[in-house]
Structure 1
Amino acid sequence: MPFLIVAVVFVGLLCTLDLVLSLGVIKRLREHTDLLSALNGRASLAAGEEVGEFTAVTVDGVAVSRAGLADDTLVGFFSPGCAACKEQLPKFVAYARALPGGRARVLAAVVGDPKRTAAMVAELAPVAQVVSEAPNGEVGSAFRIAAFPVFLTVSARGGGARVVSDARVDLEHLPSAVL
């Protein structure tokens, strides 16, 4: 009989410990969810915000700048260490290929060590003006990039300013102009 009492007390204590640990994990997950929710809407500039000044050189040796962005330019940011970037890259390439205006209306920034970004750059080069830059580079800073991947469109506003016209480009649906 004493063995049964000890076993029941032990199981009760074990269940209590499990409950306390589970509540701690749930609390931590809620904190992470709140942090991710706050970041989700702010991975870059929001729609209507002005793009910062930047000047960069593409992998082809062509200079690009904020002033040189055409109306309705598709802009994408990638990083080789990002699993979502690798998943979205073929969709971005297909979307960019379908855009009227070709490479002149697509800018892609690949952020990271040039040795690690080479494969992404090679895949993007046929359909986009590609800038390879270090973290916190000029293009990423101009768009206030805080996470990867980011896809948006930029349009001209009076006075020559460039603003984000769409901060969440849906790569699943190709541009309607070519469908």
Structure 2
Amino acid sequence: MSLLTGAVVLLAMACVANLLLLVAVLRRLREHQERLDAVRPIGDTDETELAPGQQIGGFTATTTSGDEVDQQSAVAGTTYVGFFSPTCPPCHEQLPLFLERLPQDARTLAVVLDDGDSPQERAEMVTRLKARTPVVIARPGDEIVQAFGVSAYPAMFVLDGDGVVQAGGHTVASLPRLQAV
């Protein structure tokens, strides 16, 4: 009889442990969902991003080197702009392609999202980008993010000298001037 009692107690403890684990997993999923919602609000689609022919909005931002950039100074000629998030796997895939395929004499600007997570990954991403282009660190909802209507990452744009989007997309292949030759 004590063997049966021991088995029931052991089974009850396993059930309680399983329940506690389930609660922890659900809590963690809720936290991740909140983080995702901060980067891309529910219901938003890529349609909120600027399409070819649209003008970028006004913004003022400071680069990691302390220089001020705004919509006028950022587009004094054809300019390539890339938005990247350190917590986004596709961003890590597209970043090397973006840097590799930029024309050497191109005007560029990179924006790295600071969503409060992954400070080490963000620092590594900024370091890689700074070697090639000015970098702005922005939070979701900052002027520069809103000026381009970015709601999903990565986002890349080719602008003309008037700040009009010539091409845009989420992959380097979506930018005609950066496609592999």
Shorter-normalised TM-score: what interval? 0.5 to 0.7
Query: What is the match of residue 91 of structure 1?
Result: 97
**How far 1:137 sits from its partner (Å)?**
1.2
**How far 1:175 sits from its partner (Å)?**
4.7
Q: Give 5+ residue unaligned stretches, structure 2.
A: 1-43
Distance in 1 separating the partners of 2:48 and 2:133: 21
Query: What is the match of residue 62 of structure 2?
Result: 57
Structure 1 78/156 Cα, relative in aligned 2: closer, same or farther at 3 Å?
same
Q: Give 5+ residue unaligned stretches, structure 1.
A: 1-37
Query: What is the match of residue 105 of structure 2?
Result: 101
**How far 1:43 sits from its partner (Å)?**
5.4
2:138 is the alignment partner of 1:136: no
SS of corresponding position for 2:86: coil
1:70 to 73, 76, 83: 76
Structure 1 175/48 Cα, relative in aligned 2: closer, same or farther at 3 Å?
closer
Q: Normalised by the size of structure 2, how large is the TM-score?
A: 0.65
**How far 1:156 sits from its partner (Å)?**
2.5
**More deviation in 167-176 or 105-114?**
167-176
Distance in 2 separating the partners of 1:79 and 1:147: 9
Identity of aligned residues (%): 33
Distance in 2 separating the partners of 1:170 and 1:144: 16
Query: What is the match of residue 38 of structure 2?
Result: none
Q: Deviations over 1:47-103 (max 9, x none)?
A: 11110001111001111110012221000000111110011111011123xx1425x
RMSD: 2.7
Structure 1 85/169 Cα, relative in aligned 2: closer, same or farther at 3 Å?
closer
Structure 1 111/71 Cα, relative in aligned 2: closer, same or farther at 3 Å?
same
Structure 1 174/142 Cα, relative in aligned 2: closer, same or farther at 3 Å?
closer
Structure 1 43/125 Cα, relative in aligned 2: closer, same or farther at 3 Å?
farther
Paired residue type of 1:85: C
Q: Normalised by the size of structure 1, how large is the TM-score?
A: 0.66
Contact 2:79 2:161 in 1 (8 A): no
Contact 1:43 1:147 in 2 (8 A): no
SS of corresponding position for 2:160: strand
Contact 1:71 1:155 in 2 (8 A): yes
How many residues of Structure 1 are paired with residues of Structure 2 in the alignment? 134
Paired residue type of 2:105: G
